[in-house]
Structure 1
């Protein structure tokens, strides 16, 4: 696989940081690239303030020091922060936006790496952030299921720089549980949705949900907790959802299960994770003769594109941008606090909101 420019820049920065100074010709030889490419990379990195350049040589800037020993500062000015996210689109686009805004307000620079939901890439991508000069990192691992947490997570607790977990929870009592983290309280979001539907006079809502991400698993767990809190019995098992374009047959089974529950009178309301699946499910149900909200009151989870459906979908909206913002502010605080102090680590949970639209058959607004 061809090496990207970002990966080559990471290797170049790692070499300079290791040796302190190097000639451009030496870097070209070590990187296995032409002198022209090495000079172009050096110019780019020097222009970003990541390297000092003079007379054919480059050096690690003394003002940046060791990212593991950032000196206390009254603000985040001059800091370099790293962010590892599993994706740069859909849900995490807002998280990244919030982090970028908070970094800019603090005078810090934010650099980004994407794992594409490949947890085996989390560690090398994070090491790339450190090689690029990150003095602290925000990390949303690309975990897909609970088995990925122990397999691809223990290294996070050994990072040489401050780290804040984003939208990920650690196993209680594990080394990762001692890290700072900022998350959305998805259990609260599910409870908001169920209470709203019950308040409209519906019986216990069904859950239609994916099972391929930490958010999906948190929604499933939140559903079980909400049923216990409200002293309700589930009207049927959780319906496993999959993207229509990835597995059309499995998607059709999910739609048919929901259709049969509505047709048999077992359910008149449902919570669907996520927006894209909900939009496709509403379209397919209409083809089968089940209309939303007349026959089925429906709430989507994520609120990324829910408002753009033919029938605008009521949706649970996790505070994605605020998660990025608060996590970045916390990381800046860690990097600028008095090193003689021993501050308590923080687990911050932010509450989702319910955006009420047409699909649940209630007047619009927020809950």
Structure 2
């Protein structure tokens, strides 16, 4: 994929901030671009006040502390005038609501929210965040592009070294690591899975089977929550977790997942399933119908995410993580950190928000909303 100018600018800013001062010719080599391109980039960033440029070199600008607004000593305490940065892996699907909640909370505080999208490229997270700092962000909300533990290990340490307050968003740090000392606001996906399983059991089904992806922190949390819920409920899984994959990206893998679920239903091993995520669940229901298995007559099904579950031909019961509230609470916490900076003893917080279960037609139960 060709790198955009904005992405290149973020990388350039990260290089200058790391070094303090750099020659334009050296930046061209490090960025893999021509000297002319590097010079134009530097000129554009210097014009915005994001870099200082003198005699073929650039440096990270010194930023004086922002004074209180004259005649309004409570402005900083209220959050008015703050600039907040938000790094998200995507601006669509799951994270659209997280971003919306953060934007609403920032607006209520009188703060400005600046957004960067990493497009699920963990190696770009640091540069994107440096771009936010260069754009004036005084604190950041960061949802790293980690897809699994290896990304967290390979692309996570820099977060603990940020020079501004940071809140980790919809991501959990490993206990005992430097990242674990950051504020965190997350959805409790384990609780969401437990809600789904309990509901299906209350409807008279045997232990539900899990069909889930394995390519995101949410997917991994759902898988871990499933194992934990089985232990809490004293149950054994009716079979191995079925690996789900996007039908458009891996048709063969998708068909294998559907066939595995079809066999589990027609053999009588299961009559209920939890599927992560909504899109996969909708396509699985459609394909199962082609094979003669109907939802909810033959299979009670609950989806996880509740982004588009209600729009299926048979509206899907779904676990709904509190995405907008995650963005809102994280932003409020960041504003508090910035406006109460004099309180060095303030405890860091790990805030877990509970999902809801939204009951629709796909599980064969009366419709409604179950909270916990």
Q: TM-score range by the shorter chain?
A: 0.7 to 0.9
Determine the C-alpha separation between the residues in 1 that align with 2:157 and 2:178.
7
Whether the 8 Å contact between 2:11 and 2:128 is mirrored in structure 1 is no
Q: What is residue 349 of structure 2 aligned with on the other side? A: 346
Q: 2:123 is paired with a residue of what secondary structure?
A: helix
Structure 2 residue 39 is the aligned partner of structure 1 residue 32: yes
Give the superposition deviation at 1:101. Answer: 0.5
Q: Secondary structure at the residue paired with 1:360?
A: coil
Contact 2:305–2:318 (Cα < 8 Å) also in 1? yes
The 5-angstrom pairing of residues 262-273 of structure 1 reads 262-273=265-276
Match of 1:227 in 2: 230
Pairing 1:356–2:332 present: no
How far did residue 89 of structure 1 move? Answer: 0.4
> 1:124 Cα shift?
0.8
**How big is each residue's C-alpha offset from its partner over 1:307-330, in whole Å with a ceiling of 9 and x where there is no partner?**
000000000000000000000000
Work out which of the residue numbers 161, 184, 202 in structure 2 matches 1:158: 161
Paired residue for 1:108?
111
Q: Would you say 1:302 and 2:320 are equivalent positions?
A: no
Q: Which residue of 1 aligns with 2:95?
A: 92
Q: Deviations over 1:195-222 (max 9, x none)?
A: 0000000000000000000000000000
Aligned partners of 1:14 and 1:132 also within 8 Å: no
Partner Cα separation in structure 2 for residue 259 and residue 15 of structure 1: 56
Q: Which moved more, 1:266-275 or 1:338-347?
A: 338-347
CA offset at residue 340 of structure 1? Answer: 4.3
SS in 2 for 1:358: coil
> Structure 1 residue 72: deviation in Å?
9.2
Alignment of 1:328-343 (within 5 A): 328-343=331-346
**Mapped pair 1:286 → 2:289:** yes
Write the mapping of 1:115-194 to structure 2, written as runs, cut at 5 A.
Answer: 115-194=118-197
The change in CA–CA distance for 1:9 and 1:279 in structure 2 (over 3 A counts) is: closer
Give distance in 2, aligned partners of 1:241 and 1:30: 43
- Where does structure 1 lack aligned partners over 5 or more consecutive residues? 20-27, 52-58, 66-70
Sort the Cα spacing of 1:5 and 1:236 in 2 relative to 1 into closer, same or farther, 3 A.
closer
> What is the deviation of 1:150?
1.2
- Residue 7 of structure 1 deviates from its aligned partner by 5.1
CA contact (8 A) 1:10 1:131 kept: no
Residue pair 2:189, 2:321 contacting (<8 A) in 1 also? yes
Q: Secondary structure at the match of 1:147?
A: helix
1:62-120 Cα deviation digits (max 9, x unpaired)? 5748xxxxx99311111111101111100000000000000011011111111111111
Q: Cα deviation per residue 1:37-82 (whole Å; 9 max; x = unaligned)?
A: 849x94xx58xxx89xxxxxxx9875748xxxxx993111111111
Asked if 1:78 corresponds to 2:81, the answer is yes
SS at match of 2:362: helix
Could you tell me whether the CA contact under 8 Å between 2:317 and 2:361 is conserved in 1?
Answer: yes
Q: Within 2, Cα distance between the matches of 1:9 and 1:151?
A: 20
How far did 1:4 drift?
2.1
CA distance in 1, matches of 2:241, 2:336: 41
Task: Provide the residue aligned with 1:237 in structure 2.
Answer: 240
* Residues 1:336 and 1:145: Cα distance change in structure 2 (over 3 Å): same
1:5 deviates by: 4.5
Alignment RMSD, CA only?
2.7
2:5 equivalent in structure 1: 4
Aligned residues: 339
Scaled by the length of structure 1, the TM-score of the pair is 0.86
Q: CA separation of 1:260/1:29 partners in 2, compared to 1, >3 Å: closer, same or farther?
A: closer
Q: Is the 8 A contact 1:72 1:335 kept in 2?
A: no
Cα distance change of structure 1 residues 142 and 330 upon mapping to structure 2, 3 Å threshold: same
- Structure 1 pair 2–314 and aligned structure 2 pair: CA distance change class (3 A): closer
CA contact (8 A) 2:10 2:127 kept: no
Instruction: Write the distance in 1 (CA, Å) between the matches of 2:283 and 2:311.
Output: 12
Q: Secondary structure at the match of 1:366?
A: strand
Aligned pair partner of 1:248 in 246, 251, 262: 251
Normalised TM-score (structure 2): 0.85
